[in-house]
Amino acid sequence: MSKSTSQSASDGSDTNHITGETYNSDPRKKTGPECESMTDVRYEIDRIDRLLVEILAERTTYIKAASRIKPDREMVRDVPRIEDVVAKVLAHSKEHNLPAEIADPVWRLLIERSIAYEYSSYDALKDSDIDN
């Protein structure tokens, strides 16, 4: 991802570039090896889940843009693109020690759900074009 969802300011706060919300960076952030209790582990997983939601929300804006830009519904499912995305994800996952047995099925499910969303967005846009 070339652009971060959150941008750090000089005062230690972060700004979500989608919502414009500003919030303080969390000083309790710990790495996995630094966690000493399940409370620490759960806190960090919850923190990461919040970030994942923001990133997925941003990704979804591009899925919606694709549904607007693609001239033909047949273009929504692009098998060569799917395999290219998964290959890139697996290469990046390897660099970050994310096991392929997690990355591959997670991204394939993400892609399938994104395609379903793109189909519904495409259909809704085309239906509204017909009504206008």
How high is the pLDDT of residue 48? 95
Ordered DSSP codes for the chain? --S-SEEE-TTSEEEETTT--EEE--TT---GGG--SHHHHHHHHHHHHHHHHHHHHHHHHHHHHHHHH-S-GGGS--HHHHHHHHHHHHHHHHHTT--HHHHHHHHHHHHHHHHHHHHHHHHHHHHHHHH-
Q: What pTM, to 2 d.p., does this model score?
A: 0.74
Q: Which is more confidently placed, 92 or 25?
A: 92
Q: How does pLDDT run across 58-79, given as a tens digit for each residue?
A: 999 999 999 999 999 999 999 9
pLDDT band at 52 (very low <50, low <70, confident <90, very high): very high
> Which range has the worst mean pLDDT, 8-17, 72-81, 103-112?
8-17
User: What's the whole-number mean pLDDT along residues 17-28?
Assistant: 60
- Pull the structure tokens for residue 97: 């020690």
How high is the pLDDT of residue 15? 61
